[in-house]
Amino acid sequence: MRRIRSLLGVVVAVATLGMVGVQPASAAPATTTAGGVVWLCRPGLADDPCTPSLTTTRTSPAGEVLGVEAAPRPTRPTIDCFYVYPTVSDQKTPNADLTVDPTERSIALFQVARFSEDCRVFAPMYRQLTLSTLGGQTTAEEDAVAYDGVLAAWRAYLREYNGGRGVVLIGHSQGAYLLRHLIATQIDPDPSLRHRLVSALLMGGNVLVKAGSGIGGDFHHIPACRAAAQTGCVIAYSTFDAVPPAGSFFGRSPTPGTQVLCTNPASLAGGTGVLDPILPSRPFAPGSTIAAGIAELEFTVPPVATPWVSVPGAYSAHCTDTNGASVLEVTPRNGAPLIHSSPTPGWGLHLVDVNLALGNLVAIVHTEAGAYRRTR
């Protein structure tokens, strides 16, 4: 837990530098299961932010409307998605409580709701390290509170809902760090749970592998995904708009003999690929710290009437290993706007790690789900 503690202490500062003092909007009441877990998203939950309409307007990189699509949601998905959200809480204590604030509802919509095209989405509330800690020193007890909540929810999910189904684990930033530890201690050593792992999508979380390899480091049995039909594997990356400056956090390994894994969701086998960004048309929770950080990116969404907007082909991406950092470098195409690092160049495009490649990730999970069904 010591390594997790030091990493989380840095991650929670990502959207707070220079943006202190904003207040969140009003909160929604929490809903608990019989086991005591508060679920942000789960099947049957009223007003579930992870099951919105999927109707999407496609636009060109320059903003021209190309058409409208209504993505279907299966009535009986055959796999599940277990999602741990990143640092979003504007609460003023080191650990958040379990109140479902607008920030958690927004991040679930932004990052995981689209995966409901192929899976039942389970997203627990947990007592995360909040933005108020500003990257300062946290105690071992505070770090344990965050992880223990995720672990308890994972165990409740397995006990009450999984029933032997395949599952995709999805996490970003603090969520990815916590899932790294959960996978390393709960899934990687357990053949039966590895058998249920469709994949793990761990963005902005510095997943470690043996240098020059796609395995080792954090996980001993779970390799990098190198094809869309591969299952039981991990996709991990951090996005930057340029070569990471000296001192940047993401993409750098603290452990000799290892490197941070970069798997390009637009080209898992390697090389350059084209990204398919997807974002909600409505803004992130107004008045929140994360909303302010997203505004600094200047990643504008064309005004559309549908709940979603997709901009296929707007950016190209390739994994680079330069200046001591392994990252996914993103370049605009065909008139797409340049996205600016936020809050500093050292953080790159961390706040849109997921949405820049959301279309690619959803497509990969769709293919993985089919492959998983055929082999189980």
pLDDT per position in the chain (376 positions), as tens? 444 444 444 444 333 333 223 333 345 544 555 368 999 999 999 999 999 999 999 999 988 999 999 888 888 899 999 999 999 999 999 999 999 999 999 999 999 999 999 999 999 999 999 998 866 778 999 999 999 999 999 999 999 999 999 999 999 999 999 999 999 999 999 999 999 999 999 999 999 999 999 999 999 999 999 999 999 999 999 999 999 998 888 999 999 999 999 999 999 999 999 999 999 999 999 999 999 999 999 887 788 999 999 999 999 999 999 889 999 999 999 999 999 999 899 999 999 999 999 999 999 999 999 999 998 7
pLDDT score, position 134 = 63
pTM of the complete model: 0.92
pLDDT score, position 138 = 87
pLDDT score, position 175 = 98
pLDDT score, position 33 = 57
pLDDT score, position 252 = 96
Pairing mode of beta strands 79-84, 119-124: parallel
pLDDT score, position 14 = 37
pLDDT score, position 35 = 61
SS (H, E, C) the chain: CHHHHHHHHHHCCCCCCCCCCCCCCCCECCCECCCCCEEEECCCCCCCCCCCCCEEEEECCCCCEEEEEECCCCCCCCEEEEEECCCCCCCCCCECCCCECHHHHHHHHHHCHHHHHCEEEEEECCCCECHHHCCCCCCHHHHHHHHHHHHHHHHHHHHHHHCCCEEEEEEECHHHHHHHHHHHHHHCCCHHHHHHEEEEEEECCCCEEECCCCCECCECCCCECCCCCCCCEEEEECEECCCCCCCCCCCCCCCCCEEECCCCCCCCCCCCEEECCEEECCCCCCCCHHHHHHHHHCCCCCCCCCCEEECCCCEEEEEEEECCEEEEEEEECCCCCCCCCCCCHHHCCHHHCCHHHHHHHHHHHHHHHHHHHHHC
pLDDT score, position 375 = 86
